[in-house]
């Protein structure tokens, strides 16, 4: 799609929402990179360095919120050390969120994303946008920031909540718990149908969210050439079933691994489900002239219960061997952190953003080289 056509789409979407672009001048303050979206990019789960086997204390050194631990393994937990003020309003913007972990030469990184956000929480309030957890729509926060500072890049991840992906995955876990290896109840077929039904509306909403970011930047006086708008997709929390280290029989997938899913359903989550959602996001990005960053393979080898990684033991956490996704947990921290990239995973996604920032505008795929970490093993390539 050429620039003239993209401009027409953005104007049409803005007009349909009921607003017009204001005249202004770009911010001339400190340089900045900004993130908008949901829990995948806000930093939900950043409290954790892998998944420890010890249920108490510092959880084998994985709980970054554990402080003042005594010799008996008793600790005080202060999640504010990781999430700051966003612990109170539940946006869970971690200190290692992808936007903060990205090695980008700007003066500061602004994380405006919020856990649980849907596309409507990104639209400007004047165009029908909705507040979330007491915070104004993210496009309005972006407009205020862009009017003051020199925004170089805006990275957006949105759509999974609109598609109901979390609820579908939760249903898969329940199906595992309520069935047996002799008579497994697979969620994939029905979840696939539900997802396919939700995708058209999800794509429309994601397109409006990206157009809302364009609207906010234009209102602050920015032309397309003044900044880069990037839609980042999602990575599956689970590997394909063949890579899960725990057997399908028994309860070890739940009580040891925190990954209660049948192999077939893990295949669905890591394959068709993420593929469909990411495909819709890429289509929405193309319609408004945004770049697209595919991160489906950024966590490969380190996903939850992946046999190529391991649970953290007494030796402590290491990004080379640990899982980079938070286990399904109910007694450690917040259950809302479950199945999200942990501190290691967020640093990996940040490395992808840094590589994209250093590359010419284009659509890219980011992947982790086998046997390496996000420190030196992330690579991006043009999707053409």
pLDDT digits (tens, 9 = 90+) for 340-368: 999 999 999 999 999 999 999 999 999 99
Please report, rounded to a whole number, the percentage of residues in the chain having pLDDT higher than 90.
86
- Tell me the domains of the chain and their CATH numbers: 3-382 (3.40.50.1110)
Instruction: Please give the pLDDT value at position 329.
Output: 86
Q: Is the pLDDT of residue 6 over 90?
A: no
- Encoding tokens for residue 210? 């990206």
Encode pLDDT of 78-137 as tens digits.
Answer: 999 999 999 999 999 999 999 999 999 999 999 999 999 999 999 999 999 999 999 999
Instruction: Please give the pLDDT value at position 339.
Output: 97
- Encoding tokens for residue 282? 């890429």
Encode pLDDT of 39-61 as tens digits.
Answer: 999 999 999 999 998 888 999 99
Distance CA 152, CA 60 (A): 40
Distance CA 149, CA 33 (A): 10
Encode pLDDT of 224-250 as tens digits.
Answer: 999 999 999 999 999 999 999 999 999
DSSP annotation of 269 reads I
Q: Is the pLDDT of residue 281 over 80?
A: yes
Q: What is the mean pLDDT of residues 199-227?
A: 97
298 closest CA partner among 343, 340, 345, 242: 345
Instruction: Please give the pLDDT value at position 5.
Output: 43
Instruction: Please give the pLDDT value at position 25.
Output: 54
Residues in the chain: 384
Q: Is the pLDDT of residue 3 over 70?
A: no
Q: Is the pLDDT of residue 10 over 50?
A: no
| Residue where the block lists tokens 């086998």 | 370
122 closest CA partner among 20, 41, 226, 33: 41
Q: What is the mean pLDDT of residues 166-170?
A: 95
Encode pLDDT of 262-275 as tens digits.
Answer: 999 999 999 999 99
């Amino acid at each position: 799609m050429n620039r003239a056509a993209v401009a027409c789409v953005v104007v049409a979407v803005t007009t349909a929402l009921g607003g017009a672009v204001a005249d202004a001048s770009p911010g001339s303050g400190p340089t900045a990179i900004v993130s908008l979206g949901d829990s995948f990019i806000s930093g939900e789960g950043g409290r954790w360095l892998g998944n420890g086997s010890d249920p108490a204390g510092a959880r084998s050194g994985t709980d970054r919120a554990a402080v003042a631990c005594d010799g008996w393994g008793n600790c005080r937990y202060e999640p504010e050390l990781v999430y700051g003020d966003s612990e109170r309003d539940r946006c869970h913007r971690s200190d290692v969120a992808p936007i903060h972990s990205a090695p980008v030469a700007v003066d500061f990184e602004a994380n405006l994303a919020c856990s649980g956000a849907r596309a409507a929480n990104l639209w400007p309030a004047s165009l029908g946008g909705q507040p979330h957890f007491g915070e104004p729509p993210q496009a309005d926060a972006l407009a205020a920031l862009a009017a003051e500072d020199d925004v170089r890049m805006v990275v957006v991840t949105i759509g999974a909540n609109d598609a109901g992906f979390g609820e579908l995955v939760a249903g898969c876990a329940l199906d595992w718990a309520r069935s047996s290896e002799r008579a497994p109840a697979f969620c994939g077929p029905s979840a696939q149908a539900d997802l396919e039904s939700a995708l058209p509306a999800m794509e429309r909403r994601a397109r409006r969210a990206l157009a809302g970011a364009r609207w906010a930047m234009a209102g602050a006086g920015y032309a397309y050439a003044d900044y880069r708008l990037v839609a980042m997709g999602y990575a599956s929390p689970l590997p394909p079933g063949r890579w899960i280290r725990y057997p399908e029989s028994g309860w070890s997938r739940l009580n040891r691994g925190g990954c209660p899913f049948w192999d077939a359903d893990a295949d669905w989550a890591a394959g068709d489900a993420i593929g469909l959602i990411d495909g819709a996001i890429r289509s929405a990005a193309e319609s408004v002239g945004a770049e697209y960053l595919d991160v489906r393979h950024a966590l490969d080898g380190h996903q939850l219960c992946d046999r190529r990684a391991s649970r953290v033991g007494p030796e402590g956490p290491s990004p080379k061997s640990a899982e980079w996704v938070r286990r399904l947990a109910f007694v450690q921290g917040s259950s809302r952190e479950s199945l999200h990239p942990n501190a290691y995973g967020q640093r990996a996604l940040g490395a992808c953003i840094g590589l994209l920032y250093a590359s010419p505008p284009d659509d890219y795929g980011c992947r982790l080289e086998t046997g390496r970490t996000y420190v030196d093993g992330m690579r991006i390539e043009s999707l053409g």
